[in-house]
């Protein structure tokens, strides 16, 4: 009986999801990853076609008549900062776009 009770308690704790600290850490890691991706995309803008640039910017452009959300503004800033970096080659940038397009299909 005690074994069943302990098992039930452990199952309840396991299914409760991540702790608030873990959830915050996961959110911060996701934000840092998105920032790095959009900084890199900004650096690659000069190698992209106009259609690719439009597609990338769609990810952080607010709807018509709407103000950008804090996340959109953060990502747009990362993209703009990335444009100052001219170290990435066209093949690297096109490969990144290919990988992002593949991920989008999933």
Q: Domain locations in the chain?
A: 21-105
Of 82, 41, 81, the C-alpha closest to 58 is 41
Average pLDDT, the chain: 84
Tokens of 88: 């990435």
Q: What percent of the chain has pLDDT over 90?
A: 52
pTM of the model: 0.73
Q: Locate tokens 């959009």: which residue?
A: 38
Q: Rounded to an integer, what distance in angstroms lies between the CA atom of residue 104 and that of residue 14?
A: 31
Residue 46 has pLDDT above 50, yes or no: yes
DSSP-assigned letters across all residues of the chain: -HHHHHHHHHHHHHHT-S-HHHHHHHHHHHHHHHHHHHHHHHHHGGGS-HHHHHHHHHTTPPPTT-PPPHHHHHHHHHHHHHTT-----HHHHHHHHHHHHHHHH-
Scanning the structure block, which residue is given the tokens 């873990």?
Answer: 22
pLDDT, tens only, 20-32: 788 888 888 888 9
């Amino acid at each position: 009986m005690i074994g069943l009770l302990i098992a039930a308690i452990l199952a309840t704790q396991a299914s409760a999801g991540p702790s608030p600290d873990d959830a915050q850490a996961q959110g911060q890691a996701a934000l840092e990853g998105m920032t790095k991706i959009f900084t890199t995309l900004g650096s690659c803008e000069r190698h992209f076609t106009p259609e690719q640039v439009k597609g990338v910017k769609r990810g952080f452009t607010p709807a018509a008549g709407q103000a950008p959300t804090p996340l959109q503004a953060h990502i747009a800033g990362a993209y703009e900062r990335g444009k100052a970096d001219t170290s990435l080659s066209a093949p690297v940038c096109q490969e990144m776009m290919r990988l992002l397009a593949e991920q989008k299909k999933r």
